[in-house]
Amino acid sequence: MRPNIVTEAGLQTRAGQWWESIPFLTSAVVVVCGAIYLVCLLSGYDSFYEICFLPTAVVSHFQVYRIYTSILFHGSLLHVLFNMLALVPLGSELERIMGSIRLAYLIILLATTNAIFHLFIALLVAHNPFHPYPYLMNECAIGFSGILFSMIVIETSLSGVQSRSVFGLFNVPAKWYAFILLVVFQLLMTNVSLLGHLCGILSGFAYIYGLFNFLMPGASLFSAIEASSWLSSCVRRPKFILCTGGSPTSYIPTYSGQNTTSSGLLTGNIWRNLSSWMPQRETSAQAEQDYRFPGRGRSLGSGQSETVPAVNSDSNLQARLLDNSNPDLSSHLGVTATREPLLDGRSSVAGNAVGATLGRPALLQQHPAPSEEQIQKLVSMGFDKTQVEVAISAADGDLNVAVEILMSQQG
Catalytic site positions: 145, 197
What does DSSP say about strands 261-262 and 163-166: parallel, antiparallel, or unpaired? Answer: parallel
Q: Which long-range contacts (CB under 8 A, 24 or more apart) does 26-33 make?
A: 26/87, 26/88, 26/91, 26/92, 26/95, 26/103, 27/239, 29/84, 29/87, 29/91, 29/107, 29/144, 30/84, 30/87, 30/88, 32/72, 33/72, 33/74, 33/80, 33/83, 33/84, 33/144
Q: Which residues contact 315 (CB under 8 A, 6 or more apart)?
A: 323, 342, 347, 351, 355
SS3 breakdown of the chain: % helix, strand, coil, rounded to 5?
Answer: 60, 5, 35
CB 363 within 8 A of CB 370: no
Q: Which residues contact 253 (CB under 8 A, 6 or more apart)?
A: 292, 293, 294, 295, 349
Structure-derived torsion over alpha carbons of residues 281, 269, 160, 184, reported in degrees to the nearest 10:
150
DSSP code, position 174:
G
Task: Name residue 216's amino acid.
Answer: M
Q: Which residues contact 53 (CB under 8 A, 6 or more apart)?
A: 66, 67, 70, 115, 118, 140, 141, 142, 196
What DSSP string describes 392-406? HHHTTT-HHHHHHHH
Neighbours of 104 (CB within 10 A): 18
| CA 94 to chain CA centroid, nearest Å | 2
User: What is d(CA 161, CA 15) in angstroms, rounded to the nearest whole number?
Assistant: 30
Q: What element of type H or E holds 233?
A: helix 232-235
